[in-house]
Amino acid sequence: MIDCEQVRELIPWYLNGTLAGVEAAAVAAHIASCTKCREELALTLQLSFQVRTAIEDMPPVPKRVWDRVRTGKGEIPLGSLNLGSFLLGLSMGLSVTRRGRPRVTSNLRLLGRQVPIYNTREEGGE
């Protein structure tokens, strides 16, 4: 048996249909015999409807967001090529993206020391 307080806590999930079978049955049995909890059920139903309607009336996602996802930070690589030389400790990477602007990264180490040679970075990139 569950009491009114427990039932009122569970009513939102009773209404959205996600309570486990045992819990849902206990709530249903309690509500059938409790006027106060039936009122609470009706109130929650009304609120959930109002909230849902308000959320559904929110503006749509502008198309520019998808454009930014595709071409912004989340650029979609078409291919990449990595070259390296074990002897020189040199590695270079070339990535071709949908923007068509290759990004070149390099890493040169001579005798354990980092030697800066050439890098290109995306504008506004991280």
Partner 1 sequence: MAHERDLLARVALKDESSFHLLYEEFAKRVFRYALTLLRDQHLAEEVVQETMTTVWSKAGTYSGSARVSTWIFGIARHKAYDILRSERKGARATEVTAIMDDPAPAIERQERVVAAINGLPPDQREIVFLTFYENLPYKTIAHLLEIPEGTVKSRMYHAKKKLAEALT
Whole-angstrom distance, CA of residue 123 vs CA of residue 73:
10
Determine the interface stretch with partner 1 among 28-36, 69-77, 86-94, 101-109 (rule: CB under 8 A): 69-77
Window 79-118: residues binding partner 1 (CB under 8 A): none
Binding of partner 1 at residue 66 (CB under 8 A)? yes
Binding of partner 1 at residue 28 (CB under 8 A)? no
* Chain centroid, CA 38 distance in Å: 37
Whole-angstrom distance, CA of residue 15 vs CA of residue 26:
14
Rounding to the nearest 10 degrees, give the CA dihedral for residues 107, 109, 114, 117.
Answer: -50
Q: List the one residue from 32, 57, 86, 123 that touches partner 1 (CB under 8 A).
A: 57
Binding-site ranges for partner 1 (CB under 8 A): 8-10, 12-13, 16-19, 43-44, 46-48, 50-55, 57-62, 64-66, 68-69, 72-74, 76-77
